[in-house]
Chain A
Amino acid sequence: MSVTDREAGPPAQSEASRTPSETPGLSLVPYGQGRIRGLDAAELGAHGAAMDRLVALGLPVVPGLTVPADASASLCEPDTARSAVDLVEQLSGRRIGDPTRPLLLRLSASAPTEIAGLPPDLACLGVTPGNASDLCAVIGRAEALHEVWAATVRMIAEYALDVPGAVLDDALLDTPEPRERVEALLALVAQHGSGPFPDDPAQQLALAARALLGRWDSPRARRSRRAQRLPADLAVALHVQALRIGPADHSGHGTAVSRHPETGRLSPQGSFFRGVRRSAPPPHTGEPLEGLAGGTALLEHSLLTLERHLHAPVSVEFEVRDDEISLLAASAQLRPPLRASVCLAADLARDGALGREQAVRRITPAQVQELLHPQLRLTGGEELLVKGLPASPGAATGAVALSSERALELAADGTRVVLVAAETNPADVPGMLASVAVLTGSGGIASHAAVVARGAGKPAVCGAEGLRVDRSAGTVRIGDRVLREGDTVSLDGRTGAVYAGTLSVSVAGPPPELSTLLQWADGIRRLGVRVNADTAAEVSTAVALGAEGVGLCRTEHQFLGERLPLIRRVILAADPTARDEALLALEHAQHEDFRALLAAVGNRPVTVRLLDAPLHEFLPAPGEALDAAEEQRAAALREANPMLGLRGVRLALLHERLYPAQAEALFTAWADVAATGVRPELEVMIPLVSLPEELAAAAAYVRGAADAVAARTGVEVPYRLGTMIETPRAALLAGELAEHAEFFSFGTNDLTQLTYGFSRDDVERQVLANYQERGFLTASPFARLDPHGVGSLIDLAAQRARSVRPGIKLGVCGEHGGDPESIAFCDDLGLDYVSCSAHRVPVARMAAAHSALRERRDESGSTR
């Protein structure tokens, strides 16, 4: 157990009862004794408070003391500094200058909370030109000590002895070797300093305190406080820590975090460095924790204890002395990896340390989205070309281009390009900007190429070894494979994997611990979550992601592609016979589609929207009709504004066989699927309704189709009939529409366009950015539901509909169904469900749970 515990006792308490700074040394608080003296982070600084906590948890800490914030200037007085030296010597059982068991001091500062912009630590006080060689002999290495010593002298020279910074900078540039640096800096102090650089450790400590506080008062530090909105006169506590010097083989320092960044599981991760502690050890000099001669058991115990105490993934710094670990610092990780946070929340709730609601509250919908990043869909048959460094997240697939020139040419034709370069320089930047992803043979995750790729939001893999570009031949060799410009590759900027050919990019499934949290979220939320899905495959994906049903199945695709000639014949038919033949063929094709869809849906609800495409999508391009007569009929049907023209229910009322044919195909498919024991809850939806009469007429078609199917198959298909609410008039006449509808689905994309009078593509290109800059809009109304305009229409429609039909089912099926703020709004209106694209389903589940939890908190708040 640490030395500090032995020091805790009655003498400290009696000291605390006296006024600080009455006598030198009274303002010194050994680690672990702050609480006893009634001090907290405001006086002890975040570091002092953390060390107090470590001692209280029974964890081993390095000996040291705090000079509280209100008394920190007293350490600049030699008497107080002397007392501090004596106290740390006493706490550590060592003496500065002892050649066999040497001791140095480390001075640092901390504010009441974790902030940026604190002065750097002064890491080795007590070294003198006279004892340096003894110290190096004990350590067995010389360079690190001189490096740290030089940094300490540099700071003290500028901030406590008034040597001009530029003079010191020049000396450092001229003398790269650490030992010579110390000599050069000490010579400059002798020449320019306001006083000599002392050998006495207490005098060094007093000057170091003055330097730290001077640095804290510098323009740069003040600027930093302003940027962080911290008080200009914020006071810092100072800490004097023992730096116990030992042989490099058995001593050092290291850092560790409690959880694995990839899996999030509890498993200490970090590294340690032999020799003298440095704030920024040179890269590649760390050793894995497994290399600790004394084992990692104590470290694991410390991390687990801290996690349970702080309810957060934690990080620690530790010292190794004689192969034993003691803690230098510990805190909750400021930005823990997401997987770590999610795993910890699930772990804590499983252990009963947290309630499930609290666990769910800890993970935001945005974090769920972050965890479900797009990735390459792997089936096992892919050809892995190379594995490089994951330099910029995201997955992409595209044609290889080996120069900026070629990348720009291909991209101009609309080709998706992956820029491949052995090394990158500024000439590659235009190519990177034109590409969907970047692959380089050299450079790391902090290379210029990686910085540029991330700056441009492109996935990138860097440092792919063995990549050889031959620009003149137009080829690149990756491993054993030779690819030509134009060949396709796929890459994943999170894993660094590069594959040959085109792979599909899809959303990752939730990791197991997130699935657990989402299940708990399902138990909390009131609002249902469905998916917008058109095909059986999409439905299966969404069900796996937790969708409770299909909120919108668009049937447009059933008429496009190879079926386009059929619907064209329906619309442009010269005579009724041709029309009926085409309709029959269409009905057959749709029947197959519906059967697959309904089988995938299972016993869940599914809302099928009858045809809503604008007429122009079905017309042949000018000059491409079969004959002159058809050309003429097509020309007569072309519209000035197809999105507001013959579309949705309007088309169905002019082409009266369309909806009956669709509905009959749907009901027959239901009867087929029901015969296998599956009973989807069918909801048939009429689009783009503005008049109650339109809905009544369309409803009659659907009823007729159900009767026809019942007559033919003997199966009475159970279904509900409802309508989209996507025009302001429909919202205003919700009461009248509800007389014909058993459910409403708010199509918020169209409702937003028509409420604002915005044509989405046009305003997104020209208007929205400007409006957001002016502050007219805080977000695009197409991304976040406008609560004042569109939202009030929904609110009003819901009220009017419920007054006519109290149990009417209400949902939202625009893109807003996947946006957390819009989801909370829908929840507040008491809608039954939101429906969103498959990859947003987990986000929506979490958002709906957070909305419910917020309401619960509000309610419990108001009852108090």
Chain B
Amino acid sequence: MQSAAVDLPDAPDETLTEAVVDLVLRGMWRGRPESEHRPLVDAGLAMVKGPVVLPTERAKATASRILRVAAGSEQEERITAAYEAFLPVNRKIRDVCTAWQCRPDGTVNDHTDSGYDAGVRESLEDVHEAIQPVLRRLERVLAGSGRYLTALEEALDHFDEGSLEWLASPLCDSYHTVWMRLHQELLLVLGISRAQDEAREEELVTRSRD
């Protein structure tokens, strides 16, 4: 993130840099005071649509530039290793969220079957156990990425206290919401497209075929 602010066209200040990255990774802001989004709007990096603030195309391009690490660098290589360890777990967390929302036959999980829900909780524990070493490694090579583990643990705490929306709801910083943001940051940092990402995940997940 060091060299990035220079690329920002109109406003090379650090607050704005952080803000535009945050907005792009989150996809939107809701309920933020105008003082926070006004500078972004003025810089052509955000637009206000009713109660939500959205990033502009320019903001997305800017954030990609800010986040991207140097191609071919050692840092890129080490982050790529962490990303490739992330991908198989990325498949699992989506399966866990899917199982939490839908029973195997596709009907909605109404959470009346505590045995079924307990099984899903177990696989969430597996995911969380599997992602921790990956995030510990990532933190050593990508500044600021430690916040994801903190946020995931906060979401888990809420979930364990019985607030079920903290697993997969898009309306709060749920486990899935935070995860999606982490995923997006990795893609921007490494300059990987969604299509490449899907293909790589599939390859890693199905690698062992005998």
Contacts and interface: CB of A to CB of B under 8 A. Distances in A.
A452 B97 CA distance: 9
A408 B49 contact: yes
Nearest to A143: B210
B209 A338 contact: no
Given A116-B121, A370-B107, A430-B27, A408 B137 contact: no
Contacts of A169: 132-133
B134 A393 contact: no
B7 interface: no
Interface residues of A, number: 64
B190 interface: no
A168 to B, nearest CB: 9
Contact of A116 (B101, B119, B132, B165): B119
B27 A114 contact: no
Nearest to A456: B170
A451 B60 CA distance: 23
Given A282-B205, A425-B27, A446 B94 contact: yes
Contact of A283 (B47, B122, B194, B205): B205
Contacts of A404: 27-28, 49, 54
A220 B128 CA distance: 12
B118 A412 contact: no
A412 B107 contact: no
Contacts of B52: 408, 430
B152 interface: no
Contact of A282 (B98, B114, B206): B206
Contacts of B180: 425-426, 448, 452
Contact of A426 (B27, B95, B105): B27
A425 B125 CA distance: 25
Contacts of B40: none
A143 B105 CA distance: 32
B101 A454 contact: yes
A132 B162 CA distance: 47
Interface string A404-443: 1100110010000000000101111110110000000011
B75 interface: no
Interface string B36-73: 00000000000101101011000010000000000000
Interface in A132-150: 141-144, 147
A429 B54 contact: no
B103 to A, nearest CB: 5
A165 to B, nearest CB: 9
Interface centre among B47, B50, B98, B132 (most CB of A within 10 A): B98
B54 A430 contact: yes
Contact of B116 (A224, A335, A408, A412): A335
A433 B170 contact: yes
Given A173-B137, A338-B105, A144 B210 contact: yes
B6 interface: no
Given A224-B125, A282-B208, A115 B60 contact: no
Interface string A245-285: 00010000000000001000000000000010000001111
A275 B210 contact: yes
Contacts of B143: none
Interface string B18-43: 00000011111000000000000000
Contacts of A447: 94
Interface in B124-173: 125, 132-134, 137, 160, 165, 168-171
A285 B206 contact: yes
Given A141-B210, A427-B60, A224 B98 contact: no
A58 interface: no
Contact of A455 (B28, B50, B101, B125): B101
Contacts of B176: 448, 451-452, 455
A455 B168 contact: yes
Nearest to B25: A426
A767 to B, nearest CB: 22
A116 B198 CA distance: 31
Nearest to B210: A141
Nearest to B49: A408
A170 interface: yes
A227 B116 CA distance: 12
Contacts of A455: 97, 101, 165, 168-171, 174, 176
Contacts of A456: 169-171
Nearest to B121: A227
A405 B125 CA distance: 37
B205 A429 contact: no
Contacts of A116: 115, 118-119, 121-122
A426 B125 contact: no
Contacts of A452: 170, 176, 180
A494 interface: yes
A478 interface: no
B200 interface: no
B102 interface: yes
B10 interface: no
B13 interface: no
Given A144-B210, A455-B168, A117 B122 contact: yes
Contacts of B125: 220, 224
Interface in B77-124: 85, 91, 94-95, 97-98, 101-108, 113-116, 118-119, 121-122
A446 B55 contact: no
A18 to B, nearest CB: 37
B3 to A, nearest CB: 24
B10 to A, nearest CB: 21
B182 to A, nearest CB: 11
Interface string A156-200: 000000000010011011000010000000000000000000000
B52 to A, nearest CB: 5
Nearest to B95: A446
Nearest to B194: A423
Given A224-B118, A275-B210, A370-B107, A425 B170 contact: no
Contacts of B98: 445-446, 450-451, 454
B113 A334 contact: yes
Nearest to B103: A335
Contacts of A430: 27-28, 49, 52, 54
Contact of B198 (A173, A228, A393, A442): A442
B208 A143 contact: yes
A446 B49 contact: no
B91 A446 contact: yes
A509 interface: no
Nearest to A426: B27
B115 A442 contact: no
Interface centre among A114, A393, A448, A450 (most CB of B within 10 A): A448
A390 interface: yes
Contact of B107 (A114, A170, A338): A338
A212 to B, nearest CB: 15
B116 A426 contact: no
Nearest to A114: B115
Interface string A109-143: 00000111100000000000000000000000111
Contacts of A173: 85, 133-134, 137
Nearest to A339: B105
A339 B106 CA distance: 12
12 contacts: A142-B210, A166-B133, A170-B133, A224-B121, A228-B118, A261-B105, A285-B209, A404-B54, A405-B54, A430-B54, A448-B176, A454-B168
A-B pairs with the 7 shortest C-beta distances?
A426-B27, A337-B105, A116-B118, A141-B210, A169-B133, A408-B49, A446-B94
Interface of B: 24-28, 47, 49-50, 52, 54-55, 60, 85, 91, 94-95, 97-98, 101-108, 113-116, 118-119, 121-122, 125, 132-134, 137, 160, 165, 168-171, 174, 176, 180-181, 183-184, 187, 194-195, 198, 205-210
Given A116-B115, A408-B50, A446-B97, 10 more contacts: A116-B119, A116-B121, A228-B114, A335-B116, A338-B107, A340-B105, A393-B107, A408-B52, A425-B180, A427-B28
